Amino acid sequence: MSTPHISAEPGDFAPAVLMPGDPRRAERMAAQLMPDARKVTDVRGIGGYTGTYQGKPLSIMASGMGQPSLSIYATELYRFFGVERIIRVGTCGGLSPDVEPGDVVVAIGAHTDSSLNDALCPGIHFSATASWNLLKAAVDAAGDDASVKVAPVVSRDRFYDNPPEQVQRLAELGTLGVEMEAAALYGLAAQLHKEALAVLTVSDHLLDPSKDMSAEDRETKFQTALSLAVAAALS
């Protein structure tokens, strides 16, 4: 049964979905991981692919940019297509001297300036956190890799012109990265009794833009994050 944003049928998606933001990255990930991948949806240019990785079923589908866009796709996947876990595989901006471009942040939780999670429990400031078993699987797969950090991130609605004093304070509170999707994903997983995780490559740094990755690097230097996301998805 197709939904307004996913033109697939029941059974077309695996229980585990990797979710980058960029549709082109989703296509490349599917080709890299799953030689038998087939496209199961392509509404508005957002492709979804299903195949097998090391004998286990796996799907990959883009989310687009921002929490509202991800919320649409994740809700439909969780509610109508039998998806049990979604692992966001994306990038984030570094907020702290404790991370460098190329590091990977496994997001244990996600602060946000969005109102999307406000309705989950009115009167309570909801804590958007990762699913423990997915988090543990990713951390176990990282082993002793010092470039992999486990820490909160912040999910912003605005890409530009966020208050610099907030950036500083978030870093002081142990927040390592800024991105635009994880808090909504974690909130949806809690609401729908599903599982979620975000594994993010630090692509640029708010404290030192001279360290920012090039556009080419952003597309190629995410293999560590991808391997950890796969480990979580198939755990």
The per-residue pLDDT for 209 is 79
Report how far residue 64's alpha carbon sits from residue 78's, in angstroms, rounded to the nearest whole number: 17
Q: What pLDDT digit, counting tens, does each position of 47-62 carry?
A: 999 999 999 999 999 9
The pLDDT assigned to 222 comes to 86
Residue range 99-120, pLDDT digits in tens = 999 999 999 999 999 999 999 9
More confident residue, 188 or 218: 188
* Residue 94 three-state SS: strand
- Among candidate residues 154, 69, 56, 59, the one with its CA nearest the CA of residue 105: 154
Q: What is the 3-state secondary structure (H, E, C) of 29-90?
A: HHHHHCCCCEEEEEECCEEEEEEEECCEEEEEECCCCCHHHHHHHHHHHHHHCCCCEEEEEE
Contact in structure between 5 and 43 (CB atoms under 8 Å): yes
Per-residue model confidence as pLDDT tens digits over 53-102:
999 999 999 999 999 999 999 999 999 999 999 999 999 999 999 999 99
Measured from the Cβ of residue 109, the count of other Cβ atoms closer than 10 Å reads 18
Report the distance separating Cα 55 and Cα 53, nearest Å: 5
The confidence score (pLDDT) of residue 229 equals: 97
As to burial, measured by CB atoms within 10 angstroms (0-12 exposed, 13-18 middle, 19+ buried), residue 90 is: buried
pLDDT grade, residue 31 (50/70/90)? very high
Q: Which residues are catalytic?
A: 204
Closest CA to 93 of 225, 181, 200: 200
DSSP state of 129: B
Global pTM? Answer: 0.94
- Other beta carbons within 10 Å of 170: 21
Q: Which residues contact 51 (CB under 8 A, 6 or more apart)?
A: 30, 33, 34, 35, 36, 37, 38, 57, 58
